[in-house]
Amino acid sequence: MKIQNIQTLIEQRFTEMQEIRRFLHMHPELSYEEFETANYICAYYDRLGIPYERNVGGNGIVARIEGALPGRTVALRADFDALPIQEETGVSYQSTVPNVSHACGHDGHTATLLIVAKTLFENREQLAGTYIMLHQHAEEITPGGAKAMVAAGCLEGVDAVFGTHLWSQFESGSVQTCPGPMMAGADRFVLKVTGAGGHGAMPHTTIDAIALTAQIVSTLQQIVARRINPTSPAVLTVGSFHSGDAFNIIAGTAEITGTVRTFSTEVRENIVFEMERIIKGLCDAAGASFDFEYTRGHPPVINHPEMAKQVLTTASTIPGVSSVQVMEANMVGEDFSYYLNEKPGSFFFTGAKPTDGPAYPHHHPKFNFDEKAMVIAGKTLATLATNFASESVVANDFHI
């Protein structure tokens, strides 16, 4: 079967894709709580007669489509968890769950992959190879669902893996990726400082946790600026600072939380070493104690160069794609990295900037995306998969 026919069928199913997305959008579930979402996906496959395995590494689902002709095995991934964010879009299909919403597009990813699976399955007699649909839970949390699904064997027998993220900050109709490092490793830290509180009028009798922790925050910013090679990307962000409860009391405790983003294990470990050294030194000097917890999260997403070039080349052939670009590496984290640590493959962004309003960033209460971008994502994923599975891979002629 010509891939153009697959692409046409996916495009003709936009209304169904939109209906799936909007239903899921109205019924979001948090990471590790996606039981009804998993049931919905399984019921969809049951109606089509596509075999699948559920509860893979948790709430994960792995569906399998066998082409009638011999070929390679390719996996496609979509995540389906939501975020603890109260939606403020005001759309007719807004989340019905208080303080939970699909503020990152995972509902769109799931709708896209289900339509791709339906289209491939209905045309399996004319397809070569095997197609694995990875429906992943818990992408938004550490440890994420990808790690557990890989450990459960979801990639056994797979020759390559591809995935995409609908990206509200890129123009709809665009596809972007890059060979090598694409998204950063994402770590989390928590620091609790314990000093000695007291009356605001008698600071000499206290160990001021606010002043000390503020000094720590300021000094931590020097790590990336002065201790890390400037050619090595790194981010250290303090995202929260909590202390005190009265205007005239010097706080005895303070807590900060934050994140570290890197592409290199060596850089990450250097940052951890410097953080521990700074925190201990300043607390010792002030006579305070501390509790420092550093959680190593998702590793960086590092695309296999040839696979990333294949994404770029393939995307340039997709009807409706107006722009194909090599993007700069992004410091946002993604647990798709666990798949790429095991198998060749590539992750890519599908531009989904809204055409009818502001482009709010991911994880924003007013986040939304251009739903027609799901068609671009679906056609690109399906074309990548069928070309790879049949070994009729287009030459990597995209110039970087």
| Residue 291 and residue 319 in one domain | no
Active-site residue (options: 81, 107, 208, 274): 81
- Of 298, 321, 337, which residue sits at a domain end? 298
285 shares a domain with 313: no
> Does one domain contain both 95 and 84?
yes
In-domain check, residue 370: yes
Q: Average pLDDT, stretch 359-388?
A: 97
- Interior/surface letters 323-336, b for 16+ CB within 10 angstroms, e for the rest: ebbeeebbbbbbbb
Nearest CA to 220 among 285, 276, 264? 276
399 within some domain:
no
- The pTM of the full predicted model, rounded to 2 decimals, is 0.93
What distance in Å separates the CA atoms of residue 236 and residue 224, rounded to the nearest whole number? 7
Instruction: Give percent of the chain with pLDDT exceeding 90.
Output: 95
Give which of 361, 344, 371, 14 is closest to 158, Cα–Cα: 344
* 145 and 240 within one domain: no
> What is the CATH number for 246?
3.30.70.360
Which of 235, 267, 298 lies at the terminal end of a domain, its last residue?
A: 298
Query: Does residue 398 carry a pLDDT above 80?
Result: no
**360 with 336, same domain?**
yes
Residues 290 and 363 in one domain: no
Q: Which of 250, 266, 298 is the last residue of a domain?
A: 298
Catalytic residue chosen out of the listed positions 29, 34, 87, 139: 139
Residue 54 is part of a domain; what is its CATH number?
A: 3.40.630.10
Shared domain check, 57 and 173: yes
One domain for residues 24 and 172: yes
Is 139 a residue of the active site?
yes
* Whether residues 166 and 100 fall in one domain: yes
Structural domain boundaries enclosing 327: 3-182+300-389
**Whole-angstrom distance, CA of residue 328 vs CA of residue 75:** 25
Q: What is the pLDDT of residues 6-57, one digit of tens each?
A: 999 999 999 999 999 999 999 999 999 999 999 999 999 999 999 999 999 9
Domains in the chain, number:
2
